[in-house]
Chains A and B, each alone.
Chain A
C-alpha cells in the first residue's frame, strides 16, 4: 500500500521569507501523481500544485514550486515570498491509476506565517 509521510507537524516562516515543507512517499508504481493541497481555517481544500511522476521538470505555480526527487521518493514544497494568507494546513497527496483511484494524504503540516 502507498503511504505518504510529512515529518513536520508545524512550520513557521517570517513574512516575505521562503519555507520548504517536506513530504516522502512509498510506492512500487512508476506512474503516479503527487499533489500539495492547502487547507485554510475555512476548511476548503485548495489544490496548490501538481506533479506528474513521468515529468522530470519540477512543477511551479507562481510563488510555489516543488523539488521532486523520484528516486528518493521525495516531494517537497517551497513557498517563496511568504504571505500572511499562506498560513494554513498543507497536505501532500499521492494518486496512481493502480491505487484504487483515490488520493492518499500525508498527515499534514501546519504553516504559520509571522508578520
Chain B
C-alpha cells in the first residue's frame, strides 16, 4: 500500500478564481486518479492522471476546467479553474501500484465556492 498526502484539506474560494490541489504519494504508483464527491453522494471519476502526458478525462469533464499535472510517479495536481458555486464539492485523489487490486486515497479536499 501507500500513503497519499493531499492538500489543502479544505478551502473557501471566491467565484472566478482557481484552486490547485496537490497529492504527494510516499512511494511510486503506476496510476493516479482524481474524483469528485458531492456531499452525501458517491465518487465520480474526473480523470486519470498520466505521468508525462495529458490526463484522460471522463465524459463531462474537460481539461480547460480541470487541468491536471503529473510530472512524476509520486505527485499530481488538480486545478479547479474559474470556479462557480456548482464546483463546491469534495475532491479526492487516488493511486494504485499496478493492476487495480487496491486503490488508496488521499484525505480529500473540501472545496466551498462563494
Which positions in A face B, CB cutoff 8 Å?
A: 33, 35, 42-45, 47, 50, 91, 95, 97, 100-103, 105-108, 110
Contacts and interface: CB of A to CB of B under 8 A. Distances in A.
B61 to A, nearest CB: 13
A101 B100 contact: yes
A91 B43 contact: yes
A83 to B, nearest CB: 22
Interface range, B side: 20 to 34
B51 to A, nearest CB: 14
B34 to A, nearest CB: 11
6 contacts: A35-B103, A42-B107, A44-B105, A45-B104, A100-B48, A102-B48
B92 A45 contact: yes
A105 B38 CA distance: 13
A15 to B, nearest CB: 24
Contact of A97 (B42, B90, B99): B99
A107 B41 contact: yes
Given A107-B41, A107-B42, A108-B41, A101 B48 contact: yes
A45 B108 CA distance: 9
Interface of B: 31, 33, 40-43, 45, 48, 90, 92, 94, 99-105, 107-108, 110
Greatest chain A CB density within 10 A among B31, B33, B42 is at B42
Contacts, number: 49
Contact of B100 (A33, A43, A91, A106): A33
Given A44-B108, A107-B42, 14 more contacts: A42-B107, A43-B107, A45-B105, A91-B42, A97-B99, A100-B48, A101-B31, A102-B45, A102-B100, A103-B45, A103-B94, A103-B103, A106-B42, A110-B40
B93 to A, nearest CB: 10
A49 to B, nearest CB: 11
Contact of B108 (A33, A43, A108): A43
